[in-house]
Amino acid sequence: MLVGLARTSTTDQKAGLEHQIEMLKKLGCEKLFVEETSSVGQRPVLEQATDWVREGDALCVTTLSRLARSVPHLWQIIQRLEEKKVSLRIIDMGVDTATSNGRLLLNLIGSIVQWEREILLERQKIGIKKAQKDGKFRGRVPVARRQTDEIIRLKNEGMAPADIAKALKVGRSSVYRVLADNPIRIKG
């Protein structure tokens, strides 16, 4: 059985979602799972689809970007499908993991996507280092560090570090770090 999965990131992308559904129906998908959610958040409909498919089924998507948010996420999905003896079809790429050529192509594509991501991160690091050198980028100031005076005031009033962390919505270890870095300002 062909099972379709369509996804859009936002509810205002209706035309794109309708196009995906139309393509999946033309392909012959008998069951459709449709979700309107970002790929980075929880994907309950993806979970339902991968739970629902059975041995011999094919999970179909119109494009790789509608399925996975990253290469590791893609491999998790593929592994789960393989355990159930379910193939994956990516329409716009002509990939069908039921065939040896489809599995090879998907591995090549996955490797290229991962390589591109690594190159992008390397360039980003170079750009950040240059910006730091030029004094244009310092990174974000940790939340607890911005509240150093308040942490010390609460500690001097007798509040326990765990309670300070809860009150200021910062990590307990961050409170201890601020206190350790400022021993002179702490009374008693």
Which residues are annotated as catalytic? Answer: 9
The CA distance from 135 to 147, in Å, is 24
Across 65-100, b (16+ Cβ under 10 Å) vs e yields: ebbbeebeebeebbeebeebebbbbbbeeebbbeee
Q: SS3 of 63, please? A: coil
Tally of CB atoms within 10 A around 125: 10
**Residue 175 phi, psi dihedral angles, 5° rounding:** -65, -45
